[in-house]
Chain A
Amino acid sequence: MTVDLQNVGVTLGGRAALAGITARLAEPRVAIVGRNGSGKTTLARVVAGLIAPDTGQARIGGIDMARDRRAALENVGIIFQNPDHQIIFPTVLEEVAFGLAQQGKRPREAEAAARAMLDRFGKAHWERAATHSLSQGQKQLLCLMAVLAMRPRVVVMDEPFSGLDIPTRLQLMRYLQKITAQVVMITHDPGHLRGFDRVLWLEGGRLIADGPPDRVLPDFEARMLDWGGSDDLAHLAC
């Protein structure tokens, strides 16, 4: 599957959140790095088709995901930074089955497929659990299972490990390695990118570097440490 971004620009609240992003992503593991406010999350939403770019085009496999939401359901899934913003249902089974029903499966089929998904992750016993009572890491895993159950060809993740402890993060990363879908992951931490094939670096809504991790990340880390020494918290964006 190929994510094709051509001259993508997005304006939010009168400010350019993204400008002139062009990239053709065909690698299995692609990371988007950058500071807070660099436009990473906006780009994730554009790739998933949740917002349409104001200029340029964003397509997956040649289809505009913001226009054709039906095709988007089959092709792309997104995992948000905060699982509490993503989980819609009171119980685990309902949460996983929802996307499947949305894809047109009958309720019984959707539940059976949802059970199979839970089983694949060794979480069949979660079925009746209340989503509200899950831990943060468990919630994130539930979001992952709910998205993977829909068999998307591209999975977009927006900082999926923020706020998780190290063991939980390592466990989730292990689950991620097994995913056959293409992964586009947003992060500000280069430490989360083991095994990635390509890194895009956003700064101020623009793409300032694009290449394999061993070429992009050393520069990125050096620049982050350099900026860490200054005090740019003083600047106000608007």
Chain B
Amino acid sequence: MISLTSPVETWAHRIPAGAKLLALPFLTLALFLTGRPWALAAALLVIVLLYLSGGAAFLRQGAGHLRMLWPFLLLIAVWHSLTGQMQAGLVVALRLLAALALANFVTMTTRLSDMIGVLTWLLAPLRRIGLPTRAVELAIAMVLRFTPMLVENGHRLAMSWRARSRRKPGWRIVVPMAALALDDADHVAEALRARGGILNDIPDGRS
């Protein structure tokens, strides 16, 4: 499954998702209270220790998720050294890294179903005024279910192309992929209908 939740169970997995999501913006905001590089470096060190409390494997996994940030950090460093504001560059880079490391920590220690649970709770007022929110929750689950399937469809089409051509398929499989996706969508709509559809609070289940 394309979930970023870490399989390594840490103490932070047991904290309710709502509490973690609530703490995140406040901690991120706190990173903006100081402009001193050494203070931000200290904050980053604390975050590293936070990861380390989940074990070395957990820290490595977290660092892996954040590795994709280095081109941005490099860009910031180059830009600021060109404009002669090294300290400002360092502050921005440290702040960015610390904020994303915090967010990633929450992602890695929170199960998807718990995240959806928080969303359901947040959407409760909309439900009270009569707007169906079930579709939103269902849509999230379906994206997770069908993304790997769409990727697989793409691989299958590319393979079918390669079996009969020496050139790479490239963009030419986009249209058949879209057609396949629409066809799959029809089937899934039928499967949903077979089990009551989305709007089951409407009498007889029809929209």
Residues of A within 8 A of B (CB): 45, 48, 50, 67-70, 72-73, 77-78, 80, 82, 84-91, 94, 98-99, 102-104, 130-133, 150
Contacts and interface: CB of A to CB of B under 8 A. Distances in A.
Contacts of A132: 1, 145, 148-149
Interface stretch (B68-76, B96-104, B194-202): B194-202
Contacts, number: 77
A117 B195 CA distance: 17
A234 B173 CA distance: 29
B145 A68 contact: no
B196 A130 contact: no
A69 B205 contact: yes
A73 B191 contact: no
Given A69-B204, A132-B148, A90 B196 contact: no
A69 B206 contact: yes
7 contacts: A50-B194, A69-B193, A84-B149, A85-B190, A86-B194, A88-B141, A102-B196
B114 interface: no
* Chain B interface size, under 10 / 10 to 19 / 20 to 34 / 35 or more: 20 to 34
Nearest to B140: A90
Q: Is the interface of B mostly helix, strand, loop or mixed?
A: helix
Contact of A89 (B145, B193, B194): B145
Given A68-B204, A85-B184, A90-B1, A73 B148 contact: no
Interface in B100-150: 112-113, 138, 141-142, 144-145, 148-149
Interface string B168-207: 0000000000000000100110111111110010011110
Contact of A85 (B113, B191, B206): B191
A167 B184 CA distance: 28
A215 B70 CA distance: 73
Contacts of B1: 90-91, 130, 132-133
Interface string B21-47: 000000000000000000000000000
A94 B113 contact: yes
A131 B148 CA distance: 11
Given A132-B145, A132-B149, 12 more contacts: A50-B190, A69-B197, A69-B205, A73-B195, A77-B194, A78-B194, A80-B191, A85-B184, A85-B188, A85-B191, A88-B195, A90-B141
